[in-house]
A = this chain, B = another copy of it.
């Protein structure tokens, strides 16, 4: 198993919550699970610590990072900065077919909203946000966004919404798609910033996780 994959596998376990936030990460157990020795595992943990998924306590091992309420605020602020910038950059760079694909996903999402199918809604929602960032033509931005985004993924895409907030979110997405189709970068950036601020507040209010 190549080094990259070890990191990816553990990262996934952390993001998906299979390793509970705050839980100790026992080296030996993971070694057996992944069938590798301690050296590559420890290298992976160091990398994940640099990414913020893991906290390393000197001489006291690794723990899965736990999101505090202020982590959530900070991560949403950073996400807002990155997504809005990415959206603005994407407007002049994105291709027509990509816009069409986002529009299609948007329509799907609205359908799921009308059926009040929140998991399906969130899946489309996430796909749209990621597609916009992917279209920004900036690999560094995409990488950092993915890293930040991963840390709040569960909070962001699992927190239940009230009917009222959900409606607002859908309206904001309508506006986003509109701005994107008009390739109005500054407008898209503004909407994304507002949208993310709303989302962040809601997650904070909901207790930022549920787990």
Does A99 interact with chain B (Cβ within 8 Å)?
A: no
Which chain B residues lie closer than 8 Å to A141 at the CB level? 74, 77-78, 81
> Interface size on A (CB < 8 Å)?
33
Q: Which of B50, B82, B84, B140 contacts A71 (CB 8 A)?
A: B140
Give the distance to chain B from A141, nearest Cβ to Cβ, in Å: 5
**Most B Cβ at <10 Å: residue of A47, A50, A73, A140:** A140
Which chain B residues lie closer than 8 Å to A154 at the CB level? none
In contact, B3 and A140 (Cβ under 8 angstroms): no
Does A64 interact with chain B (Cβ within 8 Å)?
A: no
In contact, A51 and B52 (Cβ under 8 angstroms): no
In contact, A140 and B50 (Cβ under 8 angstroms): no
Q: Indicate with 1 or 0, residue by residue over A40-60, a CB within 8 angstroms of chain B CB atoms.
A: 001110110111100010100
In contact, A80 and B75 (Cβ under 8 angstroms): no
In contact, B89 and A139 (Cβ under 8 angstroms): no
In contact, A50 and B51 (Cβ under 8 angstroms): yes
Does A97 interact with chain B (Cβ within 8 Å)?
A: no
Which residue on B lies nearest to A73, using beta carbons?
Answer: B138
In the complex, 19 of the A-B residue pairs with CB atoms within 8 angstroms, ordered by the A residue number, are A2-B58, A43-B43, A43-B46, A46-B46, A47-B50, A50-B51, A73-B138, A74-B139, A74-B141, A75-B140, A77-B89, A77-B140, A77-B141, A78-B82, A78-B140, A78-B141, A81-B81, A81-B84, A140-B148
